Amino acid sequence: KMNIIIVKDSSEGGKKASKLFYDACANGAKVFGLATGSTPVTTYQHLVKSKIDFSKCISINLDEYVGLKPTDEQSYRYYMEKNLFEFKPFKRSYLPQGDAANAEEEVKRYDKVIADNPIDLQLLGIGRNGHIGFNEPGSSFDLTTHKVALTPSTIAANARFFEDEEDVPKYAYSMGIGSIMKSKSIILEAFGDNKADAVAKMIEGPVTEECPASVLQKHSNVTVIVDEAAAANLK
């Protein structure tokens, strides 16, 4: 059963999520799965202001664009440095390496990272089409780390971060749904009315690969933090 927390706005949501991180840490959690994008920004802001100490912890991010160097300002590595790691360093922080020479080896390396460091708490956002990580509608629930072709709607949604839609990468490395489902606990955040449809399908719709996030109905420890706008289509 999903635990659903409805908050007023993303700031209150981020505060709630950061408190859950804090509690997990106090209870011995050592490996944190992290996300990028606009949704977790307030969570990282609250974590940065908190007394939490990640220096003995490990972080493993969900995904990274193929082709970008870690120093590229649009890379997820860069985002993580600027939003969290520069202020709250981890013992080790893993992301897929966007500029890895060999995609096949890179996804294998990343699967080993996850196998060696089972995730205690995974933070997720959700795409308007119900994607989690870069697992787009139709992707198999069994997948581990893989290289994905981004859908036109995801490319268009990401275009706001790039000068030109042409510059938006067309591929990404992503943890698979199979990897995500292995984490002991999950927090999914969704803020804003453009997520309302995906949130309703995730929570109340059928469990189907057409809405990747619906798989979370089958996980035993999921907390969904939504603002009122994103909760608007729930019954």
Residues that bind ligand F6R (CB under 6 A): 35-39, 62-63, 125-127, 131-133
Please, which residue, 133 or 169, has the CB nearer to ligand F6R?
133
Please, which residue, 7 or 35, has the CB nearer to ligand F6R?
35
Q: What b/e sequence results for 157-186 when a residue is b if at least 16 CB atoms lie within 10 Å of its CB, and e otherwise?
A: bbeeeeeeeeebbeebbbbbbbbbebbebb
The gap from C-alpha 163 to its chain's centroid, in whole angstroms, comes to 24
Question: What is the nearest approach in angstroms of ligand F6R to the Cβ of residue 219?
Answer: 16
Question: What is the nearest approach in angstroms of ligand F6R to the Cβ of residue 63?
Answer: 5
H, E, C per residue of 183-215? CCEEEEEECCHHHHHHHHHHHHCCCCCCCHHHH
63 given a catalytic annotation: yes
DSSP structure string for 45-107: HHHHHS----TT-EEEESEEETT--TTSTTSHHHHHIIIIITTS--SEEE---TT-S-HHHHH
**Which residue among the candidates 46, 63, 135, 189 is catalytic per the annotation?**
63
Question: What is the nearest approach in angstroms of ligand F6R to the Cβ of residue 134?
Answer: 6
219 given a catalytic annotation: no
227 given a catalytic annotation: no
Going by the DSSP 8-state scheme, the letter that residue 225 receives in this structure is E
Please, which residue, 39 or 117, has the CB nearer to ligand F6R?
39
Hey, what are 188's tokens? 């999914």
Give Cα separations from 222 to 75, 215, 217 (angstroms). 28, 11, 8
Hey, what are 36's tokens? 């990028």
**Which residue among the candidates 64, 106, 120, 136 is catalytic per the annotation?**
136
Question: What's the CA dihedral at 85, 86, 90, 96 to 10 degrees?
Answer: 40
Distance CA 112, CA 109 (A): 5
Residue nearest to ligand F6R as judged by C-beta position: 125
Question: What is the nearest approach in angstroms of ligand F6R to the Cβ of residue 105?
Answer: 22
73 given a catalytic annotation: no
Question: What is the nearest approach in angstroms of ligand F6R to the Cβ of residue 26?
Answer: 26
Please, which residue, 51 or 78, has the CB nearer to ligand F6R?
78
**Which residue among the candidates 64, 131, 158, 227 is catalytic per the annotation?**
131
Give the residue numbers annotated as catalytic, written as ranges. 63, 129, 131, 136
